[in-house]
Amino acid sequence: MKFPKLLRRADDHTNVASAEEAPATPGLTTIAGDKPDTDVAATEDDESGDRQSSTPAKHHIRWARAIAYALLPGLALSLAVAAGFLKWQDGSARTAQLAATESVRTATESTIALLSYRADSVEKDLEAARSRLTGKFLNAYTSLTHDVVIPGAKQKHISASATVSAAAPIEATGSHAVVLLLVNQTVTIGQDAPTNSASSVRVTLDKVDGRWLIAEFDPI
């Protein structure tokens, strides 16, 4: 715009005229409108101070970002590991609970089958019970029934029936379990009155080909 230029020109003429009319005064050489050097120095100091004060803040931000970038991946990994562990733990707990339920049911049914037979069908009854056993106990049970129980039942007309009044899992995994049973057995010999007995039995089971089988049978 031309209006400011006109103002500067008028001011120049006024200054020239004043300079010609006024006598020269020693030491008064500062032109009106100019700022002292002290103001410039103060401005530079302020700018320098601003730059210096902003430097720590920038460093702080950079360190905060660096720490965040370093910690976030580790935190994410920790959360993933924790979630995986909890999921595994939950799965293990469910497996153990299912194993306990199945093993208690199998131990109860198998114990009743092992200790129950009729004199006229003892061989068939005890042979069917053998399919519920495994390992050394299978061999021991086979020898006992063939050598003692079956001949005695046929000769003396012995019949037996068993019931389980209580059952509790002691330990259980996906392939191994231990169950405690309270067993009541009634035995009838010929025409005599039945006799009753009660006992506690610790039953150990192993899972073989998807089936729970009795591996140990220990009265306690």
Tell me the two tokens of residue 72.
Answer: 């976030």
What is the number of other CB atoms lying within 10 angstroms of the CB of residue 99? 21
Q: Cα–Cα distance between 106 and 98 in angstroms, integer?
A: 12
Q: Write phi, then psi, for 194 (nearest 5 degrees).
A: -65, 150
Rg (C-alpha) for the chain, rounded Å, is 51
Q: Set out the domains of the chain in order of their start, with CATH numbers.
A: 89-219 (3.10.450.230)
Q: What is the mean pLDDT of each run of 10 residues along the chain (220 residues)?
A: 40 44 43 46 49 54 59 61 56 82 97 97 96 97 96 96 97 95 97 96 97 96
Which residue carries 């299978």 as its tokens?
138
Would you state the pLDDT for residue 87? 57
Give residue 95's pLDDT: 81
> Which among 158, 161, 152 is positioned nearest to 186, based on CA atoms?
161
User: What would you measure as the largest C-alpha separation in the chain, in angstroms?
Assistant: 159
Which residues is 159 bridged to in the sheet? Answer: 188
User: What's the pLDDT at 93?
Assistant: 76
Q: Is the pTM of this model over 0.95?
A: no
pLDDT at 30: 43
